[in-house]
Amino acid sequence: MATLEHSAPAPVTDHAATSTGLPHLKLAMWLFLASDCLLFGALISTYVLYRGASTVGPYPADVFDIPFTSVSSFVLLASSLTMVLALAAIQRGDVGRSRVWLLATALLGMAFLGGQVYEFTSFVSEGLTLKTNVFGTSFYVLTGFHGTHVAVGVLMLLTVFTLSFAGKINQDSSMTVEIVGLYWHFVDIVWIVIFTVVYLIPTGNPAGG
Amino acid sequence: MAETHVDDPGSQTHAPAPHSGRHPGPREYIRIAIILGVITAAEVAIYYIEGAKDFLIPVLFFFSFVKFVLVVLWFMHLRFDSRTYARFFVMGLAGAVTLFLIVLLTFQVFSS
């Protein structure tokens, strides 16, 4: 039987009364995430559409380094954990610990971005650019958009981290951390799909992995 | 199914919001993170198993789906929050899947 620990009550004081009874900011974030699903749906569809259609290399199997990307995936998953720990801490009123977890999340996000920059650099050095073939185009556009989302998330995290020193992030305004967290977890679930569809599923290319 | 207990007695002074449930505690989050890590390790392991090539794609999709659902339900709190949020998200997700299928059907990817 599963045991749920409910240590942090949902905040009640950080939003004005609304017609829905729900905080509009959080509702707006969910609406934004729903629309972002369509953006990534289009990008992933394009990648799948052109999968195995490249007539010249390098092909995915020539450039992908699965162990390296797996480590990047673990880093992003770990950042989702630190993000929820930051939220749990702020909901308990523990601003100090929340700050530590927020910074840890931002650092893990930066580590993921560093890995992506390294990966892109090594791919380019192996001859795969945005214009080399359809694999290069669809791969860089999809993962580049995801990386941009991660970079925006890191900026949001660092902003919240800085605001906490000005006393603007506390138990009553924990909704701010929750909203940033929703965005961060969305970036994580998009990567879960990208990691499977782009990296792990073999392509139809003769040289594909 | 779920047994509920409170880690921080002081937090009981706050009444829960009318449309949002209580969120899990750190231990539950860590448990979910461990499950996610194990599934990711399994995904990578199965990628290297030669004998698993025949059922690699369905297994990878299954693992990916489980990870996706765990993050959305626990880390994004859809299991605990108002269903209105879930409706919004499912609407976007359904749109994305529809878009995916329309694109692939239009270009006859499945027939090739």
Q: What's the alpha-carbon Rg for chain A, to the nearest Å? A: 20
Residue positions counted in chain B = 112
- Cβ of A8 and B3 within 8 Å? no
Neighbouring residues of A97: CB distance < 8 A, sequence distance ≥ 6? A85, A89
B97 close to A41: Cβ distance less than 8 angstroms: yes
Domain ranges of chain A: 24-53+66-200
* CB atoms B26 and A5 under 8 Å: yes
B65 touches A at CB < 8 Å:
no
Euclidean distance between CA atoms A114 and A121, whole angstroms: 11
How far apart are the C-alpha atoms of A106 and A84, rounded to whole Å?
A: 13
Task: Establish if A139 touches chain B: CB-CB under 8 angstroms.
Answer: no
CA distance A154 to chain B (A): 18
| B55–A contact, CB cutoff 8 A | no
pLDDT of residue B103: 86
Q: Which of B4, B36, B54 to mutate to test the interface with A (most CBs of A within 10 A)?
A: B36
pLDDT at site A171 = 85
Q: What is the distance, to the nearest Å, from the Cα of residue A122 to the centroid of all Cα atoms in its chain?
A: 22
- Cβ contacts of A35 on chain B, cutoff 8 Å: 92
Q: Residue B3: in which H helix or E strand, if any?
A: strand B3-5
pLDDT in tens, chain B (112 residues): 343 444 443 343 344 444 456 788 899 999 999 999 999 999 999 999 888 888 899 999 999 999 999 999 999 999 988 899 999 999 999 999 998 899 888 887 777 5
Question: Which of B27, B46, B47, B57 has the highest number of chain A CBs within 10 A, making it the mutation to test binding with A?
Answer: B47
CA distance B41 to chain A (A): 8
3-state secondary structure chain A: CCEEECCECCCCCCCCCCCCCCCHHHHHHHHHHHHHHHHHHHHHHHHHHCCCCCCCCCCHHHHCCHHHHHHHHHHHHHHHHHHHHHHHHHHHCCHHHHHHHHHHHHHHHHHHHHHHHHHHHHHHHCCCCCCCCHHHHHHHHHHHHHHHHHHHHHHHHHHHHHHHHCCCCCHHHHHHHHHHHHHHHHHHHHHHHHHHHHHHCCCCCCCCC
Most B CBs within 10 Å: which of A7, A64, A68, A182, as the mutation test of the B interface? A7
Q: List chain A pLDDT tens, one digit each, 209 residues.
A: 444 455 555 544 456 677 878 889 999 999 999 999 999 999 999 999 888 888 887 999 899 999 999 999 999 999 999 999 999 999 999 999 999 999 999 999 999 999 999 999 999 999 999 999 999 999 999 999 999 999 999 999 999 999 999 988 888 889 999 999 999 999 999 999 999 999 999 876 554 44
CATH number for the domain running over A24-53+66-200? 1.20.120.80
Question: Taking CB atoms and an 8 Å limit, are A70 and B36 in contact across chains?
Answer: no
pLDDT of amino acid A6: 52
Residue B112's pLDDT is 58
Contact A10 B89 (CB under 8 A): no
3-state secondary structure of B7: coil
pLDDT at residue B5, rounded to an integer:
41
Residue A37 and residue B95: Cβ atoms within 8 Å? yes
ipTM: 0.86
Residue B97 has what pLDDT?
A: 92
At B25, is the secondary structure helix, strand, or coil?
coil
